[in-house]
Amino acid sequence: MAQHQFQTEVNRLLHLIIHSLYSNREIFLRELVSNASDALDRLKYLTVADDAYKDIAFDPRIDISFDKEKKTLTITDNGIGMNEEDMVESLGTIARSGTRQFLEKLTTDAKKDSNLIGQFGVGFYSAFIVAEKIEVVSRKAGEDAAWRWLSEGKESFDIETATRETQGTTVTLFLNEEGEDFTNRWSIEDIIKRYSNHVAFPIYLTYDQKEYDDKGKETGSSVKTEQVNDGAAIWRKNKSELKNEDYVEFYKQITHDTEEPLFYIHTKAEGTLEYNTLFYIPKKTPFDLYHVDYKPGVKLYVKRVFITDDDKELMPTWLRFVRGVIDSEDLPLNISREILQQNKILSNIKNASVKKLLAEFKTISETDKEKWDIFAGQYNRPLKEGVYQDWVNREALIDLLRFKSTAVEGWTSFAEYVSRMKEGQKNIYYLSGGDEKTLRASPLLEAWQAKGIEVLIMDEEVDEIVMPTITKYEKKEGETTLSWDVKGVNHVGADTELGKTDKQSEKDLKPVLTKLKKALGDQVKDVKLSKRLYDSPSCIVTEEDDPSIKMAQMFKAMGQPTPEIKPVLEINGEHPIVTRLRDCTDEEHIADVAIVLLDQALLVEGVRLSDSADFIKRLNRLLTGTPVSDKSV
Ligand code: ADP
């Protein structure tokens, strides 16, 4: 017998699962049944796709039995099985990516954690909520040796050789006090019906049936085995046969989510291509959505045979939050996973699925604001990625985007913005490049606010990349197409409609601009008189194609090659700080004012100063009115 230590993360997860899922402990059975179902899926695929497995007599099934006296519960499948190496790998570590980040997100609030753990998928380890010891005996298909894995869910587990007649896995739980309720026919049947009714393989429950004579006297008992689930693939059924609960139960089974999905779309296509799809949108963003090695959420089946759940090409990347199943009747069963991407049938199914999802998104966005607001809160970012990546569906996606705004609470769309536009307004304005609070406080908004023009607040990092690609927004009204320019108010040239400075003051202040430009040298691209400032003395803007200074700094911090972005400094020609400079000839004083005007404009945009000590020194000098020649300051 060899003893192995659990990976540190497993230890932590075990502890968390046991404490946060305590009140929802019956889900352990769903997890074990779901593992058994996956194991059957995998073997089924091999028997049709790989000649080496052709001779295996395969009658897929899952069996559950229990022993009240011994306090054991057993789940058996005749699926793919595990060898010693698989056991160490699968039942001793957490292979899933992002585990560490996930664990860091956990709090000590059991309710919140149980939601998170639900999203993460608790899996096999959840059985330790109800078991003080677990034994797994398994034999891998195509191999002769069998192995026994044993653990009390503390620091370690043991593996030794064992015997097993055929391929498959038997998991035996030695139940603890909390688990004793599960040695009962009715509670097991109830849990299976609730959580695993639509597992696509039959689940049999074996129990003792007591027998009675005519007078109701117990005469003995006999062993009965009965199928307790529906056992048919839910996605192949007709919608009319299914209830909301059926869809929800299947969703929870495939995602391990503890919450219901936000909505789902079930499609049966008949005609040139025959296929079934069942797609779900989770209520919460899957935890690994923004990890490079995220796990795709759509499984591919061919004629009910599971092919893969690990193909990122089944959906466009911007739809990677979708969960569900595609089952095709037309693909060959032995299709190799490697060439799937080049398959024409599959790419047609994929395109049709994207269209279907977009159509459903459109309907919901137009008819169910509450639902769509939840969607926007979770999936705006992937939709924006779609705007950037998917040129075919770009227009449809732009209509689905929702934004924060200076004019309304909550989410709004381009179309709604347009409906609120001022008479004669030609542009849709937005401000990007920082968090919501900084953006809302930005002096860049002053002129728009003074004129009552709405500005959309773009506070996501992707906005800086995506929004500059949306230069126009078009909307059909009957025969005509209406069109508006989309402009960032933090860019040079976005303020043409506002027109505040008159020609005279422009001429008046020319010498000031020259002095400031000279003092700032190559720290700025240009110094201009602003039409957008009312209260603040200065602000920074960038050229139309440049990212904001804040974003450029962030890209740099992430190690991305970023060209040096220089801002254009705009100054408020009516502000006393600026007008006072008209008659000033003291070059060092002008330099102090120039740097303070630039640095305060950077600070208010949330940009880190490159030399804050210098800024403070100059500011103090200005505040105390100390002569610049006095170097003691
Ligand atoms: P998940 O199912 O999300 O991968 P689990 O912790 O439930 O996570 O299971 C870990 C792994 O152990 C599975 O991915 C699978 O490789 C293996 N495994 C668990 N149960 C079985 C089983 N009944 N038959 C074969 N392999 C299994």
**Nearest residue (CA) to ligand 1, atom 16:** 90
Whether 26 is covered by a domain: the verdict is: yes
Task: Tell me the C-alpha distance between 519 and 529, whole Å.
Answer: 16
pLDDT number for residue 477: 86
First to last CA, the chain: 77
CATH number at residue 368: 3.30.230.80
Ligand 1 site: residues with CB under 6 angstroms? 31, 35-36, 39, 77, 79-82, 90-91, 121, 123-125, 169
Q: Let me know whether 216 and 126 are in one domain.
A: yes
CA of 447 to the centre of ligand 1 (A): 60
Q: Let me know whether 324 and 460 are in one domain.
A: no
pLDDT at 576 over 80: yes
**Nearest residue (CA) to ligand 1, atom 21:** 35
Q: Let me know whether 10 and 113 are in one domain.
A: yes
168-175 and 131-139 as β-strands: parallel, antiparallel, unpaired?
antiparallel
Single residue among 361, 380, 399 that ends a domain in this structure: 380
CB atoms within 10 A of CB 455: 25
CATH number at residue 423: 3.40.50.11260
pLDDT number for residue 499: 62
Mean of the per-residue pLDDT values for the chain?
Answer: 89
**Nearest residue (CA) to ligand 1, atom 10:** 90
Q: How deeply is 209 buried, as exposed, middle or buried, from its count of CB atoms within 10 A (0-12, 13-18, 19+)?
A: exposed
**Nearest residue (CA) to ligand 1, atom 8:** 123
Q: Let me know whether 162 and 33 are in one domain.
A: yes
Q: Let me know whether 371 and 484 are in one domain.
A: no
Q: What are phi and psi of 299, to 5 degrees?
A: -100, 145
Quote the domain boundaries for residue 439.
Answer: 387-488
Q: Let me know whether 473 and 360 are in one domain.
A: no
Q: Let me know whether 344 and 322 are in one domain.
A: yes
Single residue among 380, 411, 444 that ends a domain in this structure: 380
Contacts of 193 (CB under 8 A, 6+ apart): 228, 229
Q: Let me know whether 159 and 270 are in one domain.
A: no
Confidence at 13, pLDDT banded by 50, 70, 90: confident
CA of 82 to the centre of ligand 1 (A): 9
CA of 124 to the centre of ligand 1 (A): 7
Question: How confident is the model over 105-144, as pLDDT tens digits?
Answer: 766 676 666 666 666 666 888 899 999 999 999 999 999 9
Highest mean pLDDT among 460-469, 563-572, 592-601, 605-614: 592-601
Whether 180 is covered by a domain: the verdict is: yes
Whether 426 is covered by a domain: the verdict is: yes
Q: Let me know whether 216 and 240 are in one domain.
A: no
Single residue among 488, 518, 552 that ends a domain in this structure: 488
pLDDT number for residue 24: 77
Question: How confident is the model over 83-111, as pLDDT tens digits?
Answer: 999 999 888 877 666 666 777 776 667 66
**Nearest residue (CA) to ligand 1, atom 11:** 90
Q: Let me know whether 338 and 413 are in one domain.
A: no
Whether 632 is covered by a domain: the verdict is: no
pLDDT number for residue 596: 95
CA of 181 to the centre of ligand 1 (A): 25
pTM: 0.79
**Nearest residue (CA) to ligand 1, atom 27:** 35
Q: Let me know whether 241 and 360 are in one domain.
A: yes
CATH number at residue 603: 1.20.120.790
**How many separate domains does the chain show?**
4
Q: Which of 13, 35, 82, 139 most suits a substitution to test ligand 1, by most atoms within 8 Å of the C-beta?
A: 35
Q: Let me know whether 24 and 133 are in one domain.
A: yes
Question: How confident is the model over 514-565, as pLDDT tens digits?
Answer: 999 999 999 999 999 988 888 999 999 998 777 778 778 777 777 877 778 8
Whether 184 is covered by a domain: the verdict is: yes
Whether 284 is covered by a domain: the verdict is: yes
Contacts of 126 (CB under 8 A, 6+ apart): 17, 21, 25, 27, 28, 31
CA 526 to chain centre: 41
Q: For residue 77, which amino acid is it?
A: D
